[in-house]
Amino acid sequence: MKNNRKIKILLKSLQQASFSEDTYLTPSDINLPVFVMSLPLHATFFPNNAWMEEIASTNPEKVEVDVERFVYEWFMVYQCLSMEGIVLTFPSVPKLQDLHYINSFVYLPHIKDKKVCIISRFRAEGRQLEEQVAYDFLTKCGYTCYQPPAGMYFEGEPELKYLREDMYLGSYGVRGTKEALEWIENNFNCKIFKIGLETPKLYHGDCLFLPITPYDVLVAVNYVDKSELKKLENYVNVIPVEDDGLLLNGIMNNFSVGYTLYVGDYSLAFRSKPDLLEKEKQKKEFLAKVANDLGLEVIFLSLTQCLLQGACLSCLVARLNYTDKFRLAIWKEGLRSLSVELLVDKEFELQEAEEKDWI
């Protein structure tokens, strides 16, 4: 039933689009969530972050990534997202061990006259070739792509999370530079709340913050400068996370789609480590409570192999539109107004009209 509804929405958006010789659709124009993923066929263990260096130092034998198991776990994520919207996939390129961690670009949804992506400029060793893969893929899909100037480092969507309107939550420090965020802000007319990073194991912004809705954001408040946090609190509801163990278990490294929060479950990987397993239980309980308070459902996805490469669930997915988030924004604004019942009734009438069109 859900797939039939998705097909109807897709066809409807294509019918309503106006075409000319100078206009064309990109995946972002579809009235469904659109994601990018890439099969982990070439995942290997070449240490290029603090997590992998620690694993290498504590394991005298060679560390091997179980690619077959990884592909299965990846497919479980892919299957869930394909029920939510459209999933596009980067080509799997040999010798690029991290290509399946989609932080080689970020899409800027606030720009309406054209579809714009910012290509990463990696600081991480061995990831520079991914920049060309992202550029080729996105330009062929019709996107206009830009890259921060040399000397400025930026590592994609994990360092620039969309909130709403022209507002983003960005990070700098361990991998990215503040100058890159300022370059995006100045050249693309947007507002970025900038959060500094200092901890090597928490090297991207998605380790310190998680926008669950356009108005509600989990934040590791003990790691955020108080002045930066205060600026953010003027625009969103900050949900504080103060337990370091929850951060290291990836409490932030998840993502939401519409009214569903997808959470990485690492219980199998920690089954022989009681302390980590207990923190994993606490993480899941914390997120389940937050989701319940916000009226969201939670889906837990079991992952093990990405941990060997210092990655979590959010690293596997990037977005090419925020159709579902716009609906959430309308919902939140509706609750703030006296016309909320009228908005709900109108939306119901529109849905009924659409269904009749397809009968």
Answer for the pair 296, 261: CB distance below 8 angstroms, yes or no.
yes
What pLDDT score does 13 carry?
58
What pLDDT score does 232 carry?
95
pTM of the entire predicted model: 0.86
- Please give the share of the chain, as a percent, with pLDDT higher than 90: 81
Position 357 confidence tier, pLDDT thresholds 50, 70, 90: very low
| Digit-coded pLDDT (tens) for 237-292 | 999 999 999 999 999 999 999 999 999 999 999 999 999 999 999 999 999 999 99
| Digit-coded pLDDT (tens) for 169-215 | 999 999 999 999 999 999 999 999 999 999 999 999 999 999 999 99
Architecture of domain 2-358: 5-stranded Propeller (3.75)
Answer for the pair 192, 176: CB distance below 8 angstroms, yes or no.
no
Determine the average pLDDT of the residues in 48-62.
92
Chain CA centroid to CA 10, Å: 22
Instruction: Examine the pLDDT at 228 and tell me if it is beyond 90.
Output: yes
What pLDDT score does 354 carry?
45
What pLDDT score does 12 carry?
58
Instruction: Examine the pLDDT at 216 and tell me if it is beyond 60.
Output: yes
